[in-house]
Amino acid sequence: MSNAVRIKELNDKITALEKENTTLKETIAYLTRKLYGRSSETSKNLNIQGQMSLFDEAEQEQNIKAKEPTLEEVESYLRNRKYNGQRKEKLANLPHEKRIIPMHPEDKFCIECGNELKLIGEEFVRTEVEYIPATLRVIDYYREVYECRKCRKNGASHIEKSPMVDPVIPHSYASATSGTMSRFRTTKI
């Protein structure tokens, strides 16, 4: 094959590829205008086979005469969903366990005067639900509260509380269920 024939074939191939490239660019521009153009929301011919159009359906089935809910109806619906004590009712039939978080012996001394603190009670902190495979139990956490009697006699009240571990998820009943709280005293209720 001579060089002249080879050059002619390559020029013909380049011309064909340029023509195909121009056609593809025009097709892409047309489809882009169709898809993203001004009338893209009203376009009906771009629906994918088997996929429903959410917007067309909503427009076709809307009821123009439908009554708009009043503010009172919406508020009463939202208000009736939750009520006080609903969370406690869910836990009423589960066994409860009381865990008291003790204060470390080194912390049982008044930081004001150094006198030993006396136990005056306990404070409820939170409730968690612990999942043990096939069982649930409710654990109510309390922490010990101490008071310095010497400071109290002198008119300056000094109260200390044992430190608490933060819950896994704040304001929920979820527990870590890892057994890390085994050092605390437990009392069956």
Per-residue tokens: 170:
């704040």
- In tens, the pLDDT along 12-71 reads 999 999 999 999 999 999 998 888 876 545 555 555 555 656 565 555 666 777 777 787
Mean pLDDT of 116-124: 91
d(CA 171, CA 163): 18
pTM: 0.37
Q: Quickly list DSSP for 107-142.
A: G-B-TTT-PBEEEEEEEEEEEEEEEETTEEEEEEEE
pLDDT tens digits for range 74-114: 777 776 666 677 778 888 888 888 999 899 999 899 988 88
DSSP β-bridge partners for residue 117: 148
With a cut of 50, say whether residue 181 has pLDDT above it.
no
Q: Is the pLDDT of residue 144 over 70?
A: yes
pLDDT at residue 95 in the model: 86
Task: Write a three-state SS string for 68-109.
Answer: CCCHHHHHHHHHHHCCCCHHHHHHCCCCEEEEEECCCHHHCE
- Residue 113 CA to residue 150 CA, distance in Å, equals 8
Q: Where are the domains of the chain?
A: 1-39, 86-188
Backbone angles phi, psi at 114, to 5 degrees: 85, 0
In the predicted structure, residue 180 carries a pLDDT above the cut 50: no
Residue 2's pLDDT band, with cuts at 50, 70 and 90, is: confident
pLDDT, residue 51, reads: 61
Phi-psi region of 50 (alpha: psi -120 to 50; beta: other; left: phi over 0): left
Q: What pLDDT digit, counting tens, does each position of 69-85 carry?
A: 787 777 777 766 666 77
